[in-house]
Amino acid sequence: MLGVIKRNFTDRSKETIMPLYKSLVRPHLEYCVPIWSLHYQKDIELVEGVQCHATKLIESVRNLDY
C-alpha cells in the first residue's frame, strides 16, 4: 500500500500522507494482531520496517526516526 501511495500522490506533506497511512496501511498492520501479537523478532522488524518506510514518505519528518 505504501507503494501505491508513493506512486499516485505527488504531495508528500504530512497533511496528505498521514490520513492515507491511517486509512490504507494501518488496517493491514492491525489485522489479527491479537492472534499473532508480535512474539517473534522477525515479525517486529517487519512491522517496524513498514513504519520506517512510511516515515520516509513524509518530507518534513524524513530525517527523524519513526
Predicted TM-score of the model (pTM): 0.71
Among 9-13, 48-52, 62-66, name the one with the lowest average pLDDT: 62-66
Q: What is the DSSP letter of 40?
A: S
Round to whole Å and give the CA distance between 9 and 11. 6
Round to whole Å and give the CA distance between 6 and 34. 29
4-48 pLDDT tens trace: 998 998 888 889 999 999 999 888 877 866 666 667 788 788 888
Which CA distances in Å does 27 have to 11, 21, 24, 30? 22, 9, 6, 5
